[in-house]
């Protein structure tokens, strides 16, 4: 599947004891036809009332705590399978809800952002995470500097720029910043340009996956960071390389994400080895 162009594998492992190993994930991603940004592995629910426990796996085999685009794909896949349009899921980041609307768009409640330095987490104390001391480039003329940081179940750093986000070598800066010592659990790195209080352009280097067409949690984080730095409203359309998402940081402190998802093809896989057989086109 894809959520605005980023490649998502939804693997239904309910009823099975096995899990997708890091080695299997790396093997799947090494095959050109099955390269992915995240695997959303569905396991039997552990909490009454939830549809599944969702294990999120990056293309480098590491685990992610949250993935907004992937959760939209999960909602659409299960809606097509069951005819149900509202779901509750268990993730490492907590319980998430998702709803498919009559127009095909999908809204996922991504929960509440974490804004304290130790919650994100950062390796050292910052009293105000709206602007931390971090830069790329010369001290007197940095290329990127002073990001806003927040957690949407996973850590995000938003660098604000006044020019086209495509004018920055995110493929070069991204790996350096993702692994900067200030981020003990690594970090998703975004470059954001505010066009209007309700319109943001965003590019993201995704932790464990690299450059991506779309990152839902980064879109959530940029609206949270934009609102608390008074750059944006609490509801905005975020334009990513793959398309638009609508993000709202509601009055109850929850962040909701609305956008599309699309099935591309289906098949079967061996979670232990990553062996994959494609069997059905969408």
Residue with tokens 């299997």: 24
Q: Would residue 186 be called left, alpha or beta, if left means φ above 0 and alpha means ψ between -120 and 50 degrees?
A: left
Backbone angles phi, psi at 262, to 5 degrees: -145, 135
187 part of the active site:
no
220 part of the active site:
no
Locate the DSSP E strands across 13-165.
Answer: 38-43, 52-58, 63-64, 86-91, 94-100, 106-109, 135-136, 144-145, 148-151, 155-161
d(CA 235, CA 223): 7
d(CA 257, CA 216): 7
Backbone angles phi, psi at 75, to 5 degrees: -60, -45
Of 73, 187, 215, 220, the catalytic one is 215
Q: DSSP 3-state assignment of 144?
A: strand
Residues in the chain, total: 282
DSSP tag of 143: S
Of 67, 73, 187, 220, the catalytic one is 67
d(CA 223, CA 199): 10
CB neighbourhood size of 104 (10 A) = 11
Cα separation values, 279 from 127, 262, 267, Å: 53, 17, 5
Q: Are 100 and 259 in contact (CB under 8 A)?
A: no
Q: Can you name the residues that pair with 235 across neighbouring β-strands?
A: 248
Instruction: Give catalytic residues, as residue numbers.
Output: 67, 215
């Amino acid at each position: 599947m894809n959520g605005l162009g980023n490649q998502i594998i939804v693997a239904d492992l309910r009823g099975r004891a096995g899990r997708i190993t890091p080695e299997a994930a790396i093997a799947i991603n090494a095959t050109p036809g099955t390269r992915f940004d995240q695997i959303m592995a569905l396991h039997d629910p552990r909490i009454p009332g939830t549809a599944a426990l969702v294990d999120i796996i990056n293309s480098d085999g590491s685990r992610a705590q949250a993935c907004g685009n992937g959760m939209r794909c999960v909602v659409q896949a299960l809606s097509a399978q069951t005819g149900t349009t509202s779901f509750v899921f268990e993730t490492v980041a907590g319980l998430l809800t998702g709803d498919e609307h009559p127009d095909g768009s999908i809204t996922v409640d991504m929960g509440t952002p974490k804004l304290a330095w130790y919650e994100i987490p950062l390796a050292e104390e910052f009293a105000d995470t709206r602007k931390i001391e971090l830069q790329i480039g010369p001290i007197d003329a940095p290329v990127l500097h002073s990001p806003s940081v927040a957690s949407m179940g996973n850590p995000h750093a938003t660098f604000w720029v006044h020019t086209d986000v495509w004018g920055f070598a995110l493929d070069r800066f991204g790996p350096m910043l993702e692994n900067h010592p200030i981020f003990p659990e690594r970090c998703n790195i975004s470059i954001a340009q505010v066009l209007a209080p309700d319109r943001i352009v965003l590019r993201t280097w995704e932790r464990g996956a690299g450059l991506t067409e779309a990152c839902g949690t980064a879109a959530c984080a940029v609206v949270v960071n934009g609102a608390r730095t008074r750059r944006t409203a609490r509801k905005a359309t975020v334009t990513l390389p793959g398309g638009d998402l609508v993000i709202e940081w509601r009055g109850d402190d929850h962040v909701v994400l609305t956008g599309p998802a699309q099935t591309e093809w289906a098949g079967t896989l061996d979670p232990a080895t990553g062996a994959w057989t494609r069997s059905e086109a969408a």
